[in-house]
């Protein structure tokens, strides 16, 4: 019995070996052929050609579109050092534009009170700018020859003395003279007579002032609580304020050397202080625009080319473009100074000063034309 069972087990083991032997035809036709495929039992890839493009009989469909691109070869790393730069060489910045002007909140020399500033603002709000006035031919001729008179402001304490030559004045203030602007009886620029929009010709206005004394007593120039300013204003103007502090006015102040264009704060650095013996002049040239105004928001109001200039002792010392954009705190910008209003010469004073004014071209040491 045990012998029969042992023979049966042996026959079953021999049958399994024949079933999986490579020579067995069932083994060769089985699905395992894809994995073994060779009498040695090692893996071989199937020898099947891919179907032709468009042949769907085998169920294979080609992926549409071009084949995927090949990534470019990574360039070899470069270990070359960067080019040498000599940091000790100073570049030429002469062709660069000038730096923006720095606006100050106060002047280092003399400042008015906040009450005066508020009162001046309320005054300008209550008194709108005048419309241009049509001068008579005789008045216009007198202006061309510098035959202008000075008008004493209510806050001015001192003397205004006309000289023999028309347009020549000598002035002397008291030591306690408050802020005052001395204006002329007639405008130096008339819209109806002089505007380049009508004449198609440039128009230059200019006058000079000679400083003969600043301060009273033994104070030095730097310690003197006194000053002179020259400029232009469009009327009406609060004459208890210096030119350049309020609407439609510009001025160059000799106590701090700064320019003021509708600037009730501290002005912008421009020149040096006025000293006794200096002959200073200020002028504006209005001309037809060389380029037509653009449609940029900042250029829409540009009607004329405007050159504001300052002279000292017969030499031009500086200037600026009258169309330049002002600081945002200058309410109204350059309204009244763009050639749309009549302009009057203005001389600002405070404290004890001595000076002479020249409106006639025959007395100028600088030729602005």
Kindly provide the residue ranges of all beta strands, DSSP E only, lying in 81-202, ordered along the sequence: 150-151, 158-162, 168-173, 180-184
Instruction: With beta carbons less than 8 A apart as the criterion, state whether 215 and 174 touch.
Output: no
Rounded mean pLDDT, 3-32? 49
As a whole number, mean pLDDT of residues 143-155 equals 95
Does the residue 47 lie in any domain? no
Phi and psi for 159 in degrees, rounded to 5? -115, 145
Domain CATH code at residue 329: 2.60.120.920
**What is the spatial distance between Cα 327 and Cα 208, in angstroms, rounded to a whole number?**
28
Which pLDDT score is estimated for 158? Answer: 96
- Domain holding 175, by residue range, is 158-363
**pLDDT of res. 95:** 61
pLDDT value at residue 26: 35
More confident: 73 or 140 = 140
Kindly state the average pLDDT of the residues 244-251: 94
CB 203 within 8 A of CB 193: no
Give a yes or no: residue 214 inside a domain: yes
pLDDT band at 18 (very low <50, low <70, confident <90, very high): very low
Q: Is 113 among the domain residues?
A: no
Q: Which of 27-31, 90-94, 314-318, 331-335 has the highest mean pLDDT?
A: 314-318
Q: Is residue 81 one of the residues assigned to a domain? A: no
Q: What is the dihedral of CA 331, 333, 337, 339, to 10 degrees?
A: -120
* Mean pLDDT for all residues in the chain: 79
| Short-list 262, 260, 111, 134, CA closest to 198 | 134
What pLDDT score was predicted for residue 34? 45
Q: pLDDT category, 236, cuts 50, 70, 90? A: very high
Model pLDDT for residues 115-135, shown as the tens digit of each residue: 888 899 999 999 999 999 999
DSSP annotation string for 44-82: -----PPPPTT--TTS--PPSSSPPPPPPPPPPP--PPP
pLDDT of residue 32 exceeding 50, the answer is: no
Task: Output the pLDDT for position 324.
Answer: 83
Higher-pLDDT residue of 51, 246? 246
pTM of the model: 0.70
Question: What is the number of domains present in the chain?
Answer: 1
Higher pLDDT, 241 or 3: 241
pLDDT of amino acid 188: 98
**114 belongs to a structural domain:** no
Question: What CA–CA distance (Å, rounded) separates 230 from 211?
Answer: 11
Task: Give the confidence band of 255 by pLDDT, cuts at 50, 70, 90.
Answer: very high
Distance CA 69, CA 172 (A): 91
Cα of 252 vs its chain's centroid, Å? 21
Q: Which one is predicted more confidently, 65 or 128? A: 128
Q: Do the domain assignments include residue 268?
A: yes
Query: Is the residue at 62 inside a domain?
Result: no
Predicted pLDDT of residue 186: 96
In a domain, 11, yes or no: no
Contact 151, 183 (CB under 8 A): yes
Q: What is the mean pLDDT of residues 103-111?
A: 56
Query: What average pLDDT does the segment 157-176 reach?
Result: 96
């Amino acid at each position: 019995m045990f012998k029969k069972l042992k023979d049966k087990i042996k026959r079953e083991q021999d049958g399994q070996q024949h079933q999986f032997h490579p020579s067995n035809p069932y083994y060769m036709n089985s699905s395992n052929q894809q994995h073994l495929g060779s009498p040695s039992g090692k893996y071989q890839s199937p020898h099947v050609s891919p179907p032709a493009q468009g042949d769907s009989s085998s169920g294979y469909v080609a992926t549409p579109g071009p084949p995927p691109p090949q990534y470019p070869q990574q360039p070899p790393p470069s270990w070359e050092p960067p080019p040498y730069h000599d940091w000790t060489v100073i570049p030429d910045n002469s062709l660069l534009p000038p730096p923006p002007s720095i606006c100050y909140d106060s002047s280092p020399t003399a400042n008015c009170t906040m009450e005066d500033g508020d009162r001046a603002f309320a005054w300008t709000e209550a008194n709108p700018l005048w419309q241009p006035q049509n001068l008579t031919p005789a008045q216009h001729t007198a202006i061309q020859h510098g035959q202008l008179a000075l008008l004493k402001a209510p806050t001015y304490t001192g003397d205004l003395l006309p000289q023999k030559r028309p347009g020549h004045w000598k002035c002397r203030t008291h030591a306690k003279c408050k802020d005052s602007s001395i204006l002329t009886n007639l405008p130096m620029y008339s819209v109806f007579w002089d505007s380049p929009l009508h004449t198609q010709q440039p128009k230059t206005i200019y006058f000079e002032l000679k400083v003969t004394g600043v301060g009273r007593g033994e104070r030095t120039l730097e310690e003197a609580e006194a000053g002179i300013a020259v400029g232009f204003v469009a009327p009406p103007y609060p004459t208890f304020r210096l030119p350049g502090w309020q609407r439609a006015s510009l001025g160059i102040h000799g106590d701090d050397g700064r320019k003021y264009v509708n600037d009730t704060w501290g002005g912008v650095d421009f020149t040096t202080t006025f000293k006794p013996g200096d002959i200073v002049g200020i002028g504006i040239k209005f001309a037809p625009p060389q380029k037509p105004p653009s449609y940029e928001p900042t250029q829409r109001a540009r009607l004329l080319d405007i050159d504001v200039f300052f002279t000292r002792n017969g030499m031009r010392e500086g200037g600026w473009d009258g169309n330049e954009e002002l600081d945002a705190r200058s309410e109204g910008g350059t309204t009244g100074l763009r050639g749309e209003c009549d302009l009057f010469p203005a001389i600002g004073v405070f404290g004890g000063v001595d000076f002479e004014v020249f409106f006639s071209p025959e007395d100028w040491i600088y030729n602005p034309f």
